[in-house]
Amino acid sequence: MDNIQLVKKLHTDKEKLFREISKVIIGQKDILEHLFVALLCKGHVLLEGVPGLAKTLLINTLANALDLQFNRIQFTPDLMPSDITGTEIIKTDTGKRSFTFFKGPIFANIVLADEINRTPPKTQAALLEAMQEHKVTAGGKSYTLEEPFFVLATQNPIEQEGTYPLPEAQLDRFMLNIIITYPSRDEEIEIVKSTTHLENSNINPILSANDLFEYQSLVRNVPVADNVIQYAVDFVSSTRNNDNSADKWLEWGAGPRASMYLILAAKAKALLAGKTTPDISDIQNMINPVLRHRIIPNFNAEAEGISRDDILENLIENNK
């Protein structure tokens, strides 16, 4: 199958996938688009929002629409690292004792880390190697995770009681940070109607692992003009320079991984929009979800009520 046919198949499969998910999820088109972009780019996603906005349901429904192995981990204050990665058990066989490794729930294609900031940093750190290296080390041995591998995590706003802020190293491993807000009035009416009805919608799997592998290779092969790459790198650099208007609001800027993810996300975004190559508008569309968790506002921003998105929007205006 050539690339033109593959692009057509991608668009068809995307429509089928979104239609299947809409059986359960009302609205959230932009959220679904960003989730799909992350899947195409082999990226992990952090969804943030107050309780009751169907973050977990959204990920569960997406996982059901993909023909992949799915595990859910409920993060709680007493969760231990071995509850995620697995543990070694002593087995006795014909009088001999040996250690056998029992794989934890991290060994799946899609892992839902539900309420990831409800557990202490020690346990959160159990995901670091898996998310970056796609492997788990236990008892001096490394175990490779099966591809494709995605961590889709949910978290509550850190202002809520019983939450632990994610370390910067952990946050940086998420490609996208997606904010889920309250639905519109019409969407909420539809949600109430659908959730108080007797019928349950069955979700059929649409995409297989091989489909994803093909689409991920397709995204990597999308060409990008030098000026678009330069814009992405310059924008990320502007979050850590001392000579821009955003400096008075920023304690810490984004690293090189942000530039890489910006280009990858723009490639996928352009492909889904029917373009042959991304332009600067595609970069700008992905700036907030790629960078909002990679910058740290300072006291001045907090005192003035300036959010991370406000800072990024200001930088977009300054970089036009």
Q: Which residue has the tokens 């821009």?
A: 244
Structure tokens at 40: 């195409």
Q: What is the pLDDT of residue 257?
A: 92
What's the one-letter identity of residue 297? P
DSSP the chain: --HHHHHHHHHHHHHHHHHHHTTT--S-HHHHHHHHHHHHTT-EEEEE--TTS-HHHHHHHHHHTEES-EEEEE--TT--THHHHEEEEEEEETTEEEEEEEE-TTSSSEEEEETGGGS-HHHHGGGHHHHHHSEEEETTEEEEPPSS-EEEEEE--TTSTT--PPPHHHHTTEEEEEE--PPPHHHHHHHHHHHTSS--PPPPP-EEHHHHHHHHHHHHT----HHHHHHHHHHHHHTS-SSSGGGGGEEE---HHHHHHHHHHHHHHHHHTT-SS--HHHHHHHHHHHHTTT-EE-HHHHHHT--HHHHHHHHHHHT-
- The pLDDT, as a whole number, for residue 23 is 83
- Quickly tell me which residue has 């892992």 as its tokens: 111
Cβ atoms of 62 and 21 closer than 8 Å = yes
- The Cα 71–Cα 130 span in angstroms is 14
pLDDT value, residue 95 = 67
Dihedral sign from CA coordinates of 231, 235, 241, 246: positive
Separation CA 216–CA 298 (nearest Å)? 37
Rounded Cα distance between 72 and 128, Å, is 17
What pLDDT, in 10s, does the model give residues 278-312? 999 999 999 999 999 998 888 887 888 888 888 88
CB atoms within 10 A of CB 16: 14
The verdict on pTM exceeding 0.95 is no
Q: Look up residue 166 and give its two tokens.
A: 């994610």
In the chain, the domains with their CATH numbers are 42-188 (3.40.50.300)
Distance CA 23, CA 202 (A): 8
Q: Quick: pLDDT tens for 212-230.
A: 999 999 999 999 999 999 9
Closest CA to 212 of 14, 5, 58: 14
CB atoms within 10 A of CB 160: 12
pLDDT at res. 199? 61
Alpha carbon dihedral 33, 36, 40, 44, in 10-degree steps, equals 110
Closest to 315 (Cα-Cα) out of 265, 297, 304: 297
Q: What is the pLDDT along the chain (320 residues), one digit of tens a residue?
A: 677 888 899 999 999 999 888 888 887 788 899 999 999 999 999 998 877 777 888 888 888 899 888 999 999 888 998 899 888 787 777 667 777 888 889 999 999 998 888 888 888 888 888 998 999 887 778 889 999 999 999 887 765 666 788 888 888 899 999 988 887 788 778 878 777 765 666 888 899 999 999 999 999 999 999 999 999 999 998 888 655 555 678 888 888 999 999 999 999 999 999 898 999 999 999 999 999 999 888 888 788 888 888 888 888 888 77
Q: How far is CA 189 from CA 23, 135, 136, 183, 184, in A?
A: 15, 44, 44, 9, 9
Please list, in sequence order, all residues whose beta carbon lies within 8 angstroms of the beta carbon of residue 103, skipping any fewer than 6 positions away.
Answer: 86, 143
**Rounded distance between C-alpha atoms, residue 1 and residue 13, angstroms:** 15
